[in-house]
Structure 1
Amino acid sequence: MALRTMQVAGRLDQGFAISVQCGQHQVLMDQPRTAAGTDTGPTPLDMVLAALGGCFGTIGRFVAHQRRIELRGMRFEIEADYDPDGLLGRNPEVRPGFQEIRMRVDIDADLTEAQKQEFLEEVERRCPLADNLLHGARLRSQLVDTA
């Protein structure tokens, strides 16, 4: 199958507020007031964790459909650790990204615990966002010529 290209466009607004157009949807991100933001939306890091939960849920539906499993629902609790010294530039030795992401998943389906574990492992294996977090993707940033 051929590659598909996704595209979003965004801009930095007042302060730390960021708006991103994703197809027909607009996503607003910001920083909390305690971090000089206006708290008009989740932080970009919050969005990564939210997207991970969304990806697991979507892939869970695909896997359940393909296996003819009645998946009544999934619940996610996701937490991640990062050191602010990395993203704030205080310590160049510290990674700015997450050190670890932990996800607890409750699967509501008529499966044994072993079957749920195997189901969850397949969801993780097939989730594009999990793949990017685990294996990375090339990132190429460049300036736009405004002249």
Structure 2
Amino acid sequence: MAISKLKVNGKLNEGFRTEIGCSHNFIVDQPKAAGGNDEGANPMEVFLASLPACICAIGRIISNQKRLNVRAINVDVEGSIDKDFLMGKTEEGRAGFTEIKTNVSVDADMTQEEKEAFVEEIERRCPIADNIVDKSNLKTIVN
């Protein structure tokens, strides 16, 4: 087993603008209607966006490893969430997405069965999908 560590950081100052530090820094914010400045995607969009990005990356890794002629992978993701819970209006339910649906289209010279097997391998090897399906240990230290 080869365990690697990835590190990112976030810094919130005024409003909802959060500066994310990683290999390519970016801003996470809220829309103006929610009190933000609309300078970036909101945290839920960033979370959901990590899934198609990972599916596409793992798909490319697998296609390179197996020398498959995959021309394109298109992934649509939709998450359902109870905003009343995250806004503190109810204690019923949960804060996370109650359902996440993906629609994966593979542009390749493959049969439907081969495409399905390809996507199953992607999902099995995708760390983001794995973290959605299986619980990771979350350790929080407050300073």
TM-score class, shorter: over 0.9
Q: How does 1:73-92 map to 2 (within 5 A)?
A: 73-92=72-91
Determine if contact 1:75/1:105 at 8 Å carries over to the other structure. yes
Query: How far does residue 13 in structure 1 lie from its aligned partner after superposition?
Result: 2.5
* 8 Å Cα contact 1:80/1:100 also seen in 2: yes
Mapped to 2, the partners of 1:98 and 1:54 lie a distance apart of: 18
Which residue number in structure 2 is paired with residue 6 of structure 1? 6
SS at match of 1:72: strand
Separation in structure 2 between the aligned mates of residue 2 and residue 70 of structure 1, nearest angstrom: 29
CA contact (8 A) 1:30 1:39 kept: yes
Q: Which consecutive residues of structure 2, in runs of 5 or more, have no partner in the other structure? A: none
Unaligned runs of 5+ in 1: none
- In structure 1, the residue matched to 2:94 is 95
Cα separation, 1, equivalents of 2:61 and 2:13: 37
Cα deviation for residue 123 of structure 1 reads 0.4
* Aligned-pair Cα RMSD in Å: 1.0
Aligned pairs for 1:35-46 within 5 A: 35-46=34-45
| TM-score normalised according to structure 2 size | 0.96
**Is the partner of 1:99 in helix, strand or coil?**
strand
Q: Percent of counterpart pairs with the same letter?
A: 39
Aligned to 2:21: 21
**Deviation string, structure 1 residues 56-93 (Cα, Å, up to 9, x no partner):** 00100111112210111111111110001111121112
Which aligned segments of 4 or more residues in structure 1 are displaced greater than 6 angstroms?
A: none
Contact map agreement 1:17 1:28 (CA 8 A) in 2: yes
Q: Counterpart of 2:53? A: 54
Contact (CA 8 Å) 1:85, 1:96: kept in 2 or not? Answer: no
SS of residue matched to 2:140: coil
Report if aligned partners of 1:86, 1:96 keep a CA contact under 8 Å in 2: yes
Query: Displacement of 1:6 after TM fit?
Result: 0.8
> 1:128 matched to which residue of 2?
127
Kindly provide the CA deviation profile for residues 7-52 of structure 1, in whole angstroms up to 9, marking residues without a partner as x. Answer: 11110132011111013x1121111111111110001110111111
SS class of match (2:70): coil
Residue 118 of structure 1 is matched in structure 2 by 117
Q: Following TM superposition, by how much is the alpha carbon of 1:142 offset from its aligned partner in structure 2, in angstroms?
A: 1.4
The residue that corresponds to 2:103 in the other structure is: 104
Q: Would you say the 8 A contact 1:85–1:94 is kept in 2?
A: no
TM-score by length of 1: 0.93
- Separation of aligned partners in 1, 2:93 and 2:38: 26
